[in-house]
């Protein structure tokens, strides 16, 4: 069981990295990766929201939508539920956990229905219906671990890229590449670097 979860987790972090391999959540990736501490705050919020939204949408999908043959409503229902959930969590944090609210506060509403958050929910369901063996044995807990892995992968990508961007600050960049163009080029190179993780997970655990 631990092995299965470890495979799911590391697949989510490395080989199926959300930002650098699946190109989800690019907006926050480019938007807040300028400084390391904001990047870390944002990533923490992403991990939190990803796990939470998977935990809630999974039962809704299974016991309400699938039972009534309404899976075509997934998108709208998930967006609704995740948005409400994040709002609710924000209120609760503000009341009971002020330090955590101050740390995550401004990022929570930003990622309410970020494509990476919605993406991880759908990918979990896809994996289960697609017959992924790891997921079939533990559908719910496997989904949760995969969400955690996706979040940690997002954090890893943000961490790496914040470093890259801080290095680029002191470089002399040709005028036509300054700003977003060079950032996108750097992002694609970082993404290519992640190709190297293909097959690594299988090699370690099998």
| Interface characters, 34-63, with other proteins (x: CB under 8 A) | --------------------------x---
172 belongs to the binding site for other proteins (CB under 8 A): no
69 belongs to the binding site for other proteins (CB under 8 A): yes
DSSP at 173: -
- Phi and psi for 180 in degrees, rounded to 5? -65, -40
Quick check: 11 and 133 in contact, CB under 8 A?
no
Could you tell me the two tokens for 159? 């961490």
Separation between Cα atoms, residue 137 and residue 120, nearest integer Å: 19
Separation between Cα atoms, residue 116 and residue 24, nearest integer Å: 5
Q: How far is the CB of 48 from other proteins (least distance, A)?
A: 18
Looking at beta carbons only, is 95 or 175 nearer to other proteins? 95
Count of all residues that appear for the chain in the document: 206
Q: How far is the CB of 91 from other proteins (least distance, A)?
A: 5
Residues in touch with other proteins (CB under 8 A): 60, 64-65, 68-70, 73, 76-77, 80-81, 84, 87-88, 91-92, 94-96
């Amino acid at each position: 069981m631990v092995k299965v979860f470890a495979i799911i987790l590391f697949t989510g972090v490395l080989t199926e990295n959300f930002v650098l391999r699946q190109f989800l959540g690019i907006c926050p990736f480019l938007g807040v990766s300028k400084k390391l501490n904001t990047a870390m705050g944002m990533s923490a919020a992403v991990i939190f929201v990803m796990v939470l939204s998977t935990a809630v949408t999974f039962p809704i999908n299974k016991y309400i939508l699938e039972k009534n043959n309404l899976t075509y409503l997934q998108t709208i229902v998930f967006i609704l539920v995740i948005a409400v959930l994040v709002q609710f969590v924000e209120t609760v944090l503000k009341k009971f956990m002020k330090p955590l609210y101050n740390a995550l506060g401004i990022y929570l509403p930003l990622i309410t229905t970020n494509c990476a958050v919605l993406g991880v929910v759908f990918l979990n369901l896809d994996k289960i219906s697609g017959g992924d063996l790891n997921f079939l044995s533990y559908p719910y807990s496997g989904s949760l671990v995969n969400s955690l892995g996706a979040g940690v992968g997002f954090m890893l990508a943000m961490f790496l890229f914040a470093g890259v961007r801080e290095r680029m600050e002191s470089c002399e960049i040709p005028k036509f590449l300054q700003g977003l163009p060079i950032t996108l080029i750097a992002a694609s190179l970082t993404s290519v670097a992640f190709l190297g993780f293909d097959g690594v997970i299988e090699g370690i655990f099998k």
